[in-house]
Amino acid sequence: MSNDKKEILIVEDEVRISRFLQLELEHENYACTVCGDGRDALGLALDRDFDLIILDVMLPSLNGIEVLRRLRQTKQTPVIILTARDQVVDKVTGLDIGANDYMTKPFAIEELLARIRLHTKLKTTVGASELRCGKLAVNSEARVATYDGHAVDLTKKEFDLLEYLMQNRNIVVGREKLLDAVWGFDFYGSTNVVDVYVRYLRSKIDDVYGVNIIETVRGSGYVIR
């Protein structure tokens, strides 16, 4: 049944800690890969599909925050960051750029194990239907959008448009394509309707939270990064 084991990447350069984590996690029947270097860890995380990554912040060659930032450009693998007691800024930055959780060192192993169980379970149950971009989350199953945990009240078309842009994150989507995807091929309106609905979305998210979620790419379309 070894194929059913959840795979965890432990990124920590202090061998004393990584060895301890490995022993504890293997005892709980997780398969572990250990890496003590930021750049190598990023390569591993991009190449393989881990169920979860435990990521220390202070690392050689590339720090944990940078590893996470680059990972989140393409992958949503659950990440728990490890910070030292006095690294409040790292904790906040980590959560802002998409860490799922954090632990402050020194930590109780039972608490870390509980958080690992939570986040590996979340991945298999809602992970497929939840899209995230910073503080913006779109749950396709529940058809709910939230910003920083606050529900964003959207009409059906507004939700469909936001969901499509989130699904195509980092890709500039043209108005024709958005029209086809959200309104359907047989829609007889003009592409201006897309601009109108982007304005609606901005008034409900960007204007409320003072952010710029949906970017206009002149002459091309729209993108969420």
Residues forming the site for Ca ion (CB under 5 A): 13, 56, 58
Smallest distance, Ca ion to C-beta of residue 13, A: 5
Smallest distance, Ca ion to C-beta of residue 105, A: 9
CB nearer to Ca ion: give 64 or 221: 64
Residue nearest to Ca ion (CB): 58
- Rounded Cα distance between 188 and 217, Å, is 24
Smallest distance, Ca ion to C-beta of residue 39, A: 14
- In the chain, DSSP assigns E strands to 7-11, 31-35, 52-56, 79-84, 101-105, 130-133, 136-139, 144-147, 150-152, 214-217, 221-224
What are the structure tokens assigned to 62, written together? 């590339």
Smallest distance, Ca ion to C-beta of residue 12, A: 6
- In 140-205, DSSP assigns E strands to 144-147, 150-152
CB nearer to Ca ion: give 7 or 13: 13
CB nearer to Ca ion: give 69 or 105: 105
Closest C-alpha among 155, 103, 164 to residue 133: 164
Number of CB atoms found within 10 A of residue 201's CB: 23
3-state secondary structure of 172: coil
Which residues does residue 102 pair with via DSSP β-bridges, in sequence order?
81
CB nearer to Ca ion: give 18 or 120: 18
CB nearer to Ca ion: give 58 or 97: 58
Task: Check: CB of residue 101 under 8 Å from CB of residue 80.
Answer: yes
Smallest distance, Ca ion to C-beta of residue 58, A: 4
Smallest distance, Ca ion to C-beta of residue 40, A: 14
CB nearer to Ca ion: give 25 or 198: 25
